[in-house]
Chain A
């Protein structure tokens, strides 16, 4: 990655991120830099804190220690006079508009059609006129191969279709960064490919992406770097060929031997 001409500021910079639930410390000082335009996959055993870390990046969880910058701005706080002031709900909401998130269980709005799922946030949060939002939504639906499904409710779509609508919904906010939390884990095997194809194209278009996944093939082919997390810390990170092909750490090797 060095010398590849990526001089831009990092999209995400996490420094010593700590997070506990009650007395259970889940993140024990995560350090991670995600350069703008790069695609990073987070690997790690179940319960190692991958989802929690992802949720800290868009402030769905409040961190207890350390700090995270997204696009050069501190997550959750405003720095002023040597102090960090907590942001108001409206400010947090505004900051989240730059960060798209795709969930393992899709979380499409069940009472809205695919098209309405996509237009809701642009209209409400950005004040995009309804017609323009619908126009854009139709474009996004056709980009993810679902041009004919705008009028369908989530319950009328397969898991793979729902996940592609969910990706389109996140993209409709024109995010600078996309977070994916095991986007294909809840899918039937034959539907995984369609979702990964959409993500691959997004990566080719230069989107900065952080992807928690067990799809080692995707990590190897699409990602610029692979980060292995275990027990709340980054154990190992580097280019896919190195981390996946020639891991240094024993814990990484043990994990890979199970998923490969």
Chain B
């Protein structure tokens, strides 16, 4: 019989982290103090916050903010795809125009752009559609065409398009050349190849940062109050201008923005999983049979 070697099975003493514990306790104490302060300080007027949270004017403001976000993002995404395609085109004029667009719209503050769109009527009183140097087909006054809403959508959307162009371009470049070659070798036209093969795969790369852009847009859209739109921020400003309960009403706005961005964050996670389709680590039918 060979002697069994002694098994090293003494109890293990884990490394202790006293500083972590201390830091955590301190932070919890500070948080508790804040909560108690908010709950016991009348100036926060939590009763008013609850009351105005579902005020019709605030709800209308929320709807306007959501509309503006969706429409501006729509302009941004479509514009971004168009700009990205233009920037990768063989046509030098298209490339230059797209580059110039991105240069201008990323090089100026969106706040300034909003003002410029809003006051466009002062330099361009009439918008005319017709044959260049030929007959006119359609004329309208700019101030009729550019309402605060259109100015907001154009200002936010075109600025967004300049940023989306880079995101879309990165996504398209991430798709292997072999994918479009295979599609073209099968006899798909360049348009079909782009829409059915390249773009859906680029989406996997485009969607996550676009989700961030939506969340940023939701918050950025509050800038339109300066051109007189009654979005969520505009609504609470108007109410507080009358009742002078400024802090509680901005609390209402902050809570609404936070609620919507939280929902968007959850939705973003779900979308990302959906677009990861066909890539390693997803799909429930994984069977790597040798066959």
Contact = CB atoms under 8 A, between A and B. Distances in A.
Interface stretch (B28-36, B67-75, B217-225, B283-291): B283-291
Interface in A88-106: 89-90, 93-97, 99-101, 103, 105
B184 interface: yes
B179 A110 contact: yes
Contact of B278 (A90, A95, A110): A110
A125 B188 contact: yes
B159 interface: no
Contact of A156 (B181, B196, B287): B287
B181 A153 contact: no
Contact of A96 (B185, B200, B277, B283): B185
A101 B261 CA distance: 48
Interface string B174-197: 001011011111111110100011
Contact of B283 (A120, A124, A153, A161): A153
A101 B180 CA distance: 13
B201 A156 contact: no
Contacts of B277: 111, 153
Interface string A108-132: 1111110000001100111000000
B189 A89 contact: yes
A132 B187 CA distance: 19
A194 B280 CA distance: 24
A57 to B, nearest CB: 10
Contacts of B182: 101, 103, 107-109, 166
Contact of B181 (A60, A166, A169, A194): A60
A152 interface: yes
B20 interface: no
Interface string B190-212: 10100011001100100000000
B16 interface: no
B242 interface: no
Contacts of B178: 103, 105, 107
Contacts of A99: 185
Nearest to B175: A110
B186 A111 contact: no
Given A107-B179, A145-B291, A60 B185 contact: yes
A151 B285 contact: yes
Interface string B14-49: 000000000000000000000000000000000000
A103 B190 CA distance: 19
B283 A146 contact: no
B279 A110 contact: yes
A258 to B, nearest CB: 28
Interface string A151-176: 11111111001000010011001000
Interface in A166-198: 166, 169-170, 173, 194
Contact of A111 (B184, B187, B200, B288): B200
A90 B201 CA distance: 23
B283 A170 contact: no
Contacts, number: 102
A218 interface: no
A110 B184 CA distance: 16
Interface residues of B, number: 30
A147 B58 CA distance: 59
Contact of B185 (A58, A120, A151, A161): A58
Contacts of A97: 186-187
Contacts of B279: 110, 153, 155
B177 to A, nearest CB: 9
A149 interface: yes
Contacts of A157: 288
Given A146-B291, A151-B285, A156-B285, A112 B186 contact: no
Nearest to B202: A111
A28 B166 CA distance: 40
B287 to A, nearest CB: 7
A156 B286 contact: yes
Contacts of B285: 151-152, 156
A159 to B, nearest CB: 11
Contacts of A169: 186
A226 to B, nearest CB: 24
Interface string B69-107: 000000000000000000000000000000000000000
Contact of B192 (A100, A103, A125): A125
A124 B196 contact: yes
A124 B192 contact: yes
A158 B182 CA distance: 19
Given A124-B196, A145-B291, A146-B291, A107 B181 contact: yes
8 contacts: A60-B184, A111-B278, A124-B188, A125-B189, A153-B277, A153-B279, A156-B286, A158-B290
Given A96-B187, A99-B185, A156-B285, 7 more contacts: A89-B190, A95-B187, A96-B185, A120-B196, A158-B290, A169-B186, A173-B187
